[in-house]
Amino acid sequence: MAASHSVRAALFMLLLHQASGSGTFELRIHQFVNGESSLASGGRCVPDCRTFFRVCLKHFQVLVSPGPCTYGSLLSPLLGSGSFRVATSQSPLRLNFTFKWPGTFSLIIEAWNSPPSQLIPNVTSREMLISRFAIQRRQSVGSAWSRDVQRRRLTQLHYSYRVVCSHHYYGQGCSRYCRPRNDTFGHSTCGPLGQRICMAGWANEYCSRPICRSGCSAQHGHCHRPGECKCHFGWQGESCTDCMRHPGCLHGTCEQPFQCTCREGWGGLFCNQDLNYCTHNRPCLNSATCTNTGQGSYTCTCPPGYTGVNCQLPVSKCHSSPCSNGGTCTESEEGYRCSCGPAFNGKHCENSVLICADLPCFNGGTCYQRSRGVAYICHCAPGFAGTNCEQKVDDCSRSPCANAGPAAWQLVSLGCGLAALALLILGLALALRRLWTRPRCRQPRPRPPGAMNNRAPPRDNLVAASQLKLASLGLGLGPGLDVECGPADRRPLCKLTNCAADRGPNSLPSPGRKWHKNGPCRVDESWPLTQPGEKLECTISTIACSCELKNQTASQVRESWQNNVTTQV
């Protein structure tokens, strides 16, 4: 039986704790009557019963039975001896619960005796039980007390009780939690039924959203405290209803942040270019005509007598340069005055005081005398200009070359250089060809060393006429000179050979082969043509001549050769 009660109590508590809450069951003992100091066992307390109480609060039962105190239990302090009253200042007995109050309960109140020898009250010894009271009631949550009296044969108990919610809990079951707060998580107080009441300036379920200033845009504004109105990025104004224009936008508007829609008459990325500058600014002065040219620019058409960007400057009398021939213009009250150079006079220095006899024309210019006005006129030579031909003309200043850029000039220069190089190569080729086509020297007849022309100072490659000989003709032109002519049909020319040239006076014959300038000498040459240690070379001048020498006398030939022939070796 006890086991079944325990199981049912456990199931009840499991279901009960699913609904959270918090409250207190309070019990106040007013009076206990035990005039005979009797015990429940029939015995008596000597001298009086020192009384304390055990309270057991449990779920509602039709028949209250012993068992677990499902709502809680407690022991009171010693309240009196025998029959006694408890002062109203005595604190009530309290049993706290942490579930939603169900509205009904069962209560067991037991009075116990605590003998003087028992230092701490306890309920383990059943012989000390004085009396036992058991009730079941309905009780709503509230501050009012419910009074009751329990009577037994020898005892009476006067008491009262009530159920109150713990701090911050409200409602019939003490299940509604409400805690006043003023922090990051909310700004609220609690009503009598536990409803949350927001403080002034705060809203939403938890009173955590500030109420912004009246008129503040809910879409483009926000606030951290009541009464503020802070704008989102890109918006501005007292109520955050104005978009921010593009930075630098001067004469434009926007419908969304960072736009720059130009007003009429303005243009450009920043609407800073006055498309109607003349109307907006009137920059032209002195009745000048202003014309808009777009993009914030304009032009002023000045009336006669004024000049400048805005026609703000009076035109100088000297502005048109009225003085000729280098005269200096100076403004005066009458208008202007020309200060002429020493060679000119007149109002505008137009008359020259020089004549052609003074030779006024430079750089080869030709002077022509005039009778009126200008005293003379210089006709300049090409390349010069000016009144007296004193200026050198830059022919390129007129840009006479059409369709010629730097690249074309470079091509022309390159072509000229290549042509010159080709001509040089051709000349060298012709010279080499002429050298290679000369006849080779023939073997000369032996001549004594003294036959060399040593009377004159040494000159390279020169052979005196006295050393030349016309071969085959026996003309006796001189030792060492042979002139060989062939038949008229096969040898139209004759040639002069000298293989003994350039021999030193002390040179000795050498069996080695000798080389002349135009070819090898014959093997029977028996003396060297050069000094010892020099290359074995010989040079000879070959002179082509007409074979008409045959028809001349020897004296004529000799005279002709001596007068006209000098051989370079």
- pLDDT (mean) for 368-375: 68
pLDDT at 499 over 80: no
Beta strand 181-183 with 186-190 is antiparallel
pLDDT at 547 over 70: no
User: Looking at beta carbons, which pairs linking 365-369 to residues 24 or more positions away fall under 8 Å?
Assistant: 365/389
Confirm whether pTM is higher than 0.75.
no
Q: Would you state the structure tokens that stand for residue 516, as one six-digit string?
A: 């002349």
Q: Kindly report whether the peptide bond that precedes residue 102 is cis, defined as omega within 30 degrees of 0.
A: no
- pLDDT (mean) for 341-347: 79
Instruction: Give the closest residue to 538 by CA, choosing from 438, 441, 433.
Output: 441
What is the per-residue pLDDT for 398? 65
pLDDT at 3 over 90: no
Q: Is 284 exposed, middle or buried (0-12, 13-18, 19+ CB in 10 A)?
A: buried
**Range scoring the smallest mean pLDDT among 18-27, 67-76, 208-217:** 18-27
What are the structural domains, with CATH classification, of the chain?
Answer: 15-170 (2.60.40.3510), 181-210 (2.10.25.140), 328-392 (2.10.25.10), 435-569 (no CATH)
Torsion of CA 260, 264, 266, 267, to 10 degrees: 60
What is the per-residue pLDDT for 468? 39
Instruction: Give the closest residue to 446 by CA, choosing from 381, 393, 514.
Output: 514
**Percent of the chain's residues with pLDDT above 90:** 41
pLDDT in tens, 503-533: 444 444 444 444 444 444 444 444 443 444 4
Beta strand 169-170 with 289-294 is unpaired
What is the per-residue pLDDT for 190? 93
Instruction: Give the residue, 344 or 9, on which the prediction is more confident.
Output: 344
In this structure, what DSSP letter does residue 237 have? Answer: S
pLDDT in tens, 430-472: 888 888 776 554 554 544 444 444 444 444 444 444 443 433 3
pLDDT at 555 over 60: no
Instruction: Give the closest residue to 98 by CA, choosing from 11, 19, 188.
Output: 19
Q: What is the mean pLDDT of the chain?
A: 76
Cβ atoms of residues 5 and 65 within 8 Å: yes
pLDDT at 415 over 70: yes
Q: Would you state the structure tokens that stand for residue 54, as one six-digit string?
A: 């055990």
In this structure, what DSSP letter does residue 128 have? Answer: G
Beta strand spans in 173-217 (E): 176-177, 181-183, 186-190, 196-198, 202-203, 209-210
Instruction: Give the residue, 9 or 481, on which the prediction is more confident.
Output: 9
Instruction: Give the residue, 274 or 521, on which the prediction is more confident.
Output: 274
Instruction: Give the residue, 503 or 189, on which the prediction is more confident.
Output: 189
pLDDT in tens, 85-144: 999 999 999 999 999 999 999 999 999 999 888 777 788 888 999 999 999 999 999 999
Cβ atoms of residues 165 and 193 within 8 Å: no
**Percent of the chain's residues with pLDDT above 70:** 70
Q: Would you state the structure tokens that stand for residue 491, as one six-digit string?
A: 């040898």
- pLDDT (mean) for 22-48: 93
What is the per-residue pLDDT for 532? 46
Q: Is the dihedral of CA 486, 490, 491, 497 positive or negative?
A: negative
Q: Which pLDDT band holds residue 4 (cuts at 50, 70, 90)?
A: low
Write the DSSP string, 67-92. Answer: S--TTEEEE----EESSEE--TTSPP
pLDDT in tens, 53-86: 999 999 999 999 888 999 999 999 999 999 999 9
Instruction: Give the residue, 536 or 317, on which the prediction is more confident.
Output: 317
Beta strand 72-75 with 50-58 is antiparallel
Torsion of CA 549, 552, 554, 559, to 10 degrees: -80
